[in-house]
Every structure is written in structure tokens, then in C-alpha cells.
Chains A and B, each alone.
Chain A
Amino acid sequence: MSNFFEKSDLSRNEAESIISDTLQKCDDGELYLENSKSETILLDDNKIKNSSYNSDLGFGFRAISGEVVAYSHSNEISKDSLRQSSENLKSTLKSAKGSYNHEIPKSNKKYYDNINPIEQKSLNEKIDILNDVNNYLRSKDGNVKQVTANFLGEQKSIEIIRSGGETLSDVRPLIRFNVSVMLEKDGRKETGVYGVGGRQSYDSYLKDDNWKKVCDEALRIATVNLESKPAPAGEMKVVLGPGWPAILIHEAVGHGLEGDFNRKKTSAFHNLMGQRVASEGVTIVDDGTIDNRRGSLTIDDEGTPTEKTVLIENGILKNFMQDRLNARLMNTRSTGSGRRENYRHIVLPRMRNTMMQSGNQTQDEMIRSVDKGIFAVSFGGGQVDITSGKFVFNCTEAYEIVNGKIGSPIKGATLIGDGPSILKEVSMVGNDMMMDPGIGTCGKAGQGVPVGVAQPSILINRMTVGGTKL
């Protein structure tokens, strides 16, 4: 754990008294301290292109009165700096007359180990694996024209000091290993991308030549795309494969169920609580408690232990995801969903691992039932307009379905749908629920946080496919 006051002219006691003094008439708030170390080792174009290391230290001081949030951050942990922040907060909240809510739930559970993944593998070992990846892919297929592979490792230590001196802390490891390969054949170029990651050491994902599986998958996707035809344009049936395609859930309903948008009534879901928003058999949870997953957290960035929050149960909307601010203003409790990218940012209610539970059908049944449609297996990213409810996601591996059979691969296309109605179009839910490989980052209000998704195969009756073939 970091000792944030070790090299500072500010002692912990002094910090606590500034915090308590600043927050005395506020409803909530805290000092958030963060020390993160991260590395990137990148192989590209046959060479180690980049080896970089970042060390980031800073604090964010937050005071809340009613609906108003005052925030000030700095990377200088010193008496002057904290006092200046305190003055900024006080001047914004001059007329605050709330009473501080000291209550914060406790838990002893931990969902990852206190390790520093960067230090657990030497630079030379990492460079060796990257070179092996490059040689392996180039020797496996003569059409390989470009290989990019990288290690991203991070250890983030946080401490939250609340008014009265209550202190909560967490140490969060996170790694990612990515491979991207470009093929060229008969003048045509296509790429395939795959990666793995989570809150464990690099070796948990890469030992025993496991890195070869990552390479093979990237190469397989690129190979499929070399043969792809233009995608169709228009409304049709869509079968989504299990795992990573759950980006659909994240975009279509996840963002719209975040507490802030519903308190402000700007989400297309704000007046649908208790109502049917999905077909029977569709259950969606947001779970921060799965061991070592990318989106898991022992405590959120306000100190609340995370949990498994049921969002939609058997088609009925049950809960929004809440941080402390929005929970208080909506007369409910925090679901441990308060997150921030780092100390530079305010807390917002965010997703963790968003998952649709398994049903009873098989992927085979789904494909057999479709006369004309597409089967989408892998995705790039997605985006949503939470107010109109319209969302998109981009296929990176998809096939046409003709008369109940999988046909030719089709070029990457954007799929567009309407969040509040799309899950009512789900007519089959598979028995093959799968987690994503651990590579997702979710963006909101300029802040990126690591998240996970999971789902079984599903059949959607009607979605618009954004291809070029009419």
C-alpha cells in the first residue's frame, strides 16, 4: 500500500482535519488519493517500438451539497495544495447546510490479489514473448504483412479519506495483452485483433504458450475477413455469438440504466422502472464481484463494496446502477457503481461486468430458424445516444445466414437498434453464456474505465444492418 504522506509536508492528521473542516456542512464528499504505475511494451513492424513507464500521483477532493458537486484535483500532495483545493470547494458551496452522511457499508471480501504485475515479469521476458509472437505469426502464414502486439500493465493504489477520518483503501492490478495482425492477399488487406486480460499477473493468461491461442484467434479473424463480401443493408434477423458480442447489452441497455441519466430524466429508461423492457427469459446483471475480472472491484471509487446488481429480471426492469450522489437524490442506496478513470475526474455511476444470463436454447436452433439474416461473432466497439435510446456496434467478424445455414463472411458493418425495444425482440436465449476475454474499456464523459461483458448466444428478430449491398 502507498503511504501518500511519506514525502509530503502534509501529515495524515492535518489532512484529516482539513477534510473534516471542509466537509462539515456538506452532505457527502471525500479526499481520494491515487498512486498508479503503468507500463506499455509494444512490438510493431518487426521491432520493439516502445517501452514506456508511467508513474502518476495525485489527489481529488470532492464536496457535495444537495445536487451540487465541487471538485478540485492536483498532483502535488502538500499542505498548500490541499488548502487551496479546500478554499475552492468552500467558495463553490458557500451556502451549504447539509449534514454529512457517515454511513458506508463494509465488506471483507477481495476479488483480486495485492500484486504488482509489472514487477512480476522482467522486461527481457516480455520482449522475448513479443518477438516470439511476431515470429510465430509470420512463419504461420505467408500472407501476414504486419504484426502488432503489446503488454499493458498497471498497479493502482487508492485511498479514500472521509470526513471524521474514516479511511478505505484498495490496490488494483490490471493487465492486457493484445495481438493485431494484418494479412494481404491479391491486393486486399484485412486485419484481425484479439486480446486477453484481467486483474492478475501476465503469466495467469500467457503461461504454457497460451499466447499462441491469442495469436491464432487474431489470425483466424483476419483470414475470415480476407474472404468477406460486402455486408447487406437493411432490417433483418441477427444471431449474436456468446461472450464479447454482449457489447450489445452494454450499449443498448447498460448506459441507459446508469443512475445519473435517470435522476436527470435524460435516459430513455427513466420512466420504465418495474415495466417490461425485455422478452421473458432475459435476465441482466451488473456484477463487480467476479474474481480477477477486468470490470471487478473490491470497493468502488467512493469506498462502497461492489455487488451483483440485478438490472433486468425475466424481462422486467428492477434496478439502476448507483453511486452515492445519485442514490441519495433518488432515495435509494449505492450499488457500488461509483467509478472514476483516475484522481483527475469526478465519480459517475458506471458499469462493471454486465452480463446476460443463460437460457435454454442452442446456437444451432437459432441459426436454423433464420431464413435471411446475419450471424455476428466478434465486435470492435459500440456507442449509444442514451436520450433517443439509439445505439450502434461494429462487427469485426460476421457471416450471412441463408435458409438456416451459415454462409459467406461479410465485411465489417455497423448494426443500429433502439435500446428500450431491442431486448423485446430477443426471441431465443442460448445455454452457452460466456465471459468476454477481458479487453473492454468503456467511455463516458471523457473518462475511460475497464469493464467486462458476458452473454449467451441470442437471436434478435429485427435489427438494421449497415452494409452497402441493397
Chain B
Amino acid sequence: MVKEQEFLEKKASHCLGLAKKFGATGSIVVVKNSVSETVNFRNKKLDESNRSDDLGVSITTYIGKKKSSISSSNLLNDNLNILIEKCVETTKNTPEDEFNSLPDKDLLAKKAKDLDLYDNTHIENDQKISYLKKLEDAASHDKKIVNTESSFTQNKSNFVLANTEGFCDGYKTSSFTASSVTVAKDEKSMERDYEYSSKCFLKDLDDADELGKLAADQTIRKLSPQKIGSEKIAIIFDKRIAKGMLRTFASAISSSAISRGTSFLRDKVNQKIFSDKINVFDKPDILKGLGSRNFDSEGVKTDTLKLVDQGILKHYLIDTYNGKKLNLKSNGRCGGTSNLYFENGNINFKDLLNSNSKSLYITETIGHGSNIVTGDYSVGATGFLVENGEFKYPINEITIAGNFKDMFQNITLANDLEFKYATNSPTMLIEGMVVAGK
């Protein structure tokens, strides 16, 4: 079982005490335990079982404006003694940085409220196995499916974050994740696709049949793909790809990229970076939310932020260090966003498909083609040609390219937002991108 609060708090305060003893003027410590149990299936048979129990500590010590950190998975007192002494010693030898400091005391979170992030239910491996059997039966309903792989993971975590300003808090979280990956084959091609569900509470997890069937259907429809010519074309991003645009947006407005001057969105607060109808929220207090949290990784309180209001950028994502550098207060985003999402647009999915006589519907991208310094974007893509609102045939071995500065201004969103991941987007249409193919 995952370690209880009391154990983690004791370790944390022991570490803070040691840091002080060795000469630190301030310190912050996180003690975390995570226990996962996974069962993997392949072609309707057990393939792998995996249990992991990870306990770890990370400590940052300050001496005035000097800072250093250590982390370890060995929590024996002997080892902590050696490591923390080493950490304080390294701190002494590291040059000062005027912006180094613990968070301002008045910004620290008050007592954590219950966001319903922990399900006490324990699912035994036998129950996971029967879920996966059902899933794989559904996934192999068509004889074009030649390989099925599926996985079920239960994770229970607990942590305590404490600092020398008196902050000490933490809480348990749980997640239950099922996934199905299928391979389909015909005379001309072999293709792979997947479906996935992850929830804080076991009872909310998608039905096994549905998950398996969806994965198989999404794979079969990719068979016998064609390559198209190079042209400028409207692109519709499936929700699972559209959310990636938000991830790029989040990296580009992180206070570290802004303060270093390495973002194409620097100095863009209060300017219009998206089209009028676009609103972006980061909401940490969604009950059972996959990205929900009570405070950030420095203990700073996190309020809901409307990051983009009618196309206008309103906030950066600010932590203590970069905030001080930019002369801004931390808004509790050390460690990134919580539940980040585009608000729904006002057009339905069908109408979005129909809004151009010809467009590309993208279901997968590969490659690391997002450059947040220049905003340039170029990735490999797989999807479907859409004509007059109908899926015509699958497409692969193409790339799609553009620049985020233009792409963001040309986004139209459907009204089909769902909270499947921590970062979510409705289906997204972007006009004016370039496809490279034949």
C-alpha cells in the first residue's frame, strides 16, 4: 500500500532539520511514494505483470541567494545525512543568483481542500485480467485485426511538500488507466492505432467493450492509405492531436521561456494571439480532474486563470524564480499547467467537417517539429481526406507545416470538448497550412 501522510511528513521534517543543521538558511523538500500495478495482455493472453513501488525525496537548499538540490530514492537516514550535507556544501560553492528564493509566504496555499482525487478501491490483477479479456474480445471482432495489445494500470500516489516557511501539506491521488493498441492488415498495408481511458475513480473508467471496439475501428479505417500531392489545405485536428497545440502554447507562455527571451509569445500579454472566439482556461479545482491540484510544486496556491480571453493573451505561467526576474508574482504554475483547455466553439463536429469542400482530418502526428523560439511547426502526419463532410480515404507519409503565429489566428473550434486528459481541446480546424506529399 502507498505510504501514509504521517510517514512522509516525518521524513520531510527530518530532511528540513538536517538541512538547517548543516547550515542552510532555507529549504524545500518533497517526499513522494507511488505504487503502480499493471497487467498487459497480448492476443487475448497474459503478457506481463508489473508492480512498482517508488519512494523518493528531493530537497532544494538555500544559503541566502545560493541554491542547490539533490534527489534520492534511498531514504535510509545514513544516506540522507550524507546527501543533505553534500547538498548544503554544493550550495555554498554555487554562485549567488539574486532571484533565488522560497515563495512569498502570503502566496502559499492554505489547507488543501478535497478535490476528490483519491479512490480507495483496489482492483486485483484477476479483475484487471477479466477487463482486458473483454476488451481484447471486442478489439478482435474483425479478422483484419492481426494483433491486439492492451494494458490496465492502477496507480496510487501520496506526497508531502514542506518548506522552512512552515508549509507542510500533501494528499493522495489515484488513477486507473486502460489502453488498447491494435494492428490491422490487408494485402497492401499494415496499420496501428489505439484507444485509451484514464480516470481518478475506477467506476468512471470507460467500458472495456467500447474501448476495444473503438481501437479496432480506428485502426481498420487506416488500411490502404494513399499519399496526396503537396498543397495548401484546411486541416482538421482530431481532439487527441488538437490538445498538442495547447501544450505548445503552454510551453511558449511559461515564465522561464519568457524571461529567457526564447519564446515567440514574449511581450504578447494583452495582445491578440488567437482569433476572437478563442478562450483558454487553466482550472486546477475540477473535481476528479486529471490535472487537478491544490498547490503547485513550490506550495503556491493555484487559482483558475483565463489565460486567453477572446483571443487576447492575459497571463504567463509564472513560478517564483522567473516571476521575480520578470517582476511578476507567481500564479502557482511552477511545474506547469493543471487542467488546461480551450472553451467550446459554437459549431458542431459535422459542420466543422463541412466547412470546406476539401480538407485533411489528422489523427496522428510524429516527430518533434514544434519550435517555440520561432513558432515554426513541421511534423509527419496520418489521417483522412475529407470531401464535402465525408471521410473519403486514409492518407499517410505526408507532413504538415506552418507557423504557430499564423496557425493560432486561424483556429476554429467545434463544440465537442471532453475532459479525457489533463489538457483538452475540442476538434480544431486550422486554415491555410501546407501539406507536403508527392
Residues of A within 8 A of B (CB): 7, 44-45, 47-58, 67-76, 81, 85, 88, 91-92, 123-124, 127, 145-146, 182, 184, 188-191, 231, 233-235, 264-266, 268, 344, 346, 380-385, 387-388, 390-394, 411-418, 464-470
Contacts and interface: CB of A to CB of B under 8 A. Distances in A.
Contacts of A124: 93
B95 interface: yes
Highest count of chain B CB atoms <10 Å: which of A49, A57, A468, A470: A468
B78 interface: yes
A50 B436 contact: no
Interface stretch (B41-49, B270-278, B312-320): B41-49
Contacts of A127: 93-95
Given A73-B51, A73-B53, A123-B93, A387 B367 contact: no
Highest count of chain A CB atoms <10 Å: which of B74, B229, B367, B368: B367
Given A392-B379, A394-B369, A464-B399, 7 more contacts: A49-B97, A53-B87, A123-B90, A189-B261, A265-B147, A383-B366, A468-B402
B72 interface: yes
5 contacts: A53-B83, A233-B399, A234-B230, A465-B399, A466-B400
Contact of B76 (A7, A189, A387, A468): A7
A186 to B, nearest CB: 14
B261 A417 contact: no
A188 B373 CA distance: 10
A464 B378 contact: no
Interface residues on B, range: 35 or more
A272 B223 CA distance: 20
Interface stretch (B165-173, B185-193, B288-296, B345-353): B185-193
A191 to B, nearest CB: 6
B36 to A, nearest CB: 10
B54 A75 contact: yes
Interface stretch (B8-16, B63-71, B303-311, B409-417): B63-71
B369 A69 contact: no
Contacts of B86: 53
Contacts of B76: 7
A68 B436 CA distance: 43
B50 A346 contact: yes
A383 B380 contact: yes
Contact of A266 (B69, B79, B192): B192
Nearest to A69: B48
Q: Which 5 A-B pairs have the closest CB atoms?
A: A466-B399, A233-B436, A392-B380, A392-B367, A387-B192
Contacts of A469: 434
Interface in B360-419: 364, 366-369, 371, 373-374, 376, 378-380, 382, 396-403
A55 B47 contact: no
Contact of A191 (B47, B56, B373): B373
Nearest to B93: A123
Contacts of B369: 392, 394, 412, 414, 466
A48 B94 CA distance: 7
Contacts of A182: 261-262, 373
B260 interface: yes
Given A233-B434, A417-B397, A264 B379 contact: no
A88 B94 CA distance: 45
Contact of A54 (B68, B70, B397, B399): B70
A448 to B, nearest CB: 14
B437 interface: yes
Contacts of A465: 399, 436
Contacts of A264: 42, 147
Given A146-B261, A268-B190, A392 B71 contact: no
Nearest to A53: B70
A468 B53 CA distance: 48
Contacts of B25: none
A385 B74 contact: no
A70 B38 CA distance: 10
A387 B190 contact: yes
Contacts of A92: 46, 49, 125
A466 B69 contact: no
Interface in B240-268: 259-262
Contact of A91 (B73, B125, B229, B376): B125
B260 A394 contact: no
B437 A464 contact: yes
B438 interface: yes
Nearest to A415: B399
B378 A467 contact: yes
Given A75-B53, A92-B46, A346-B48, A413 B401 contact: yes
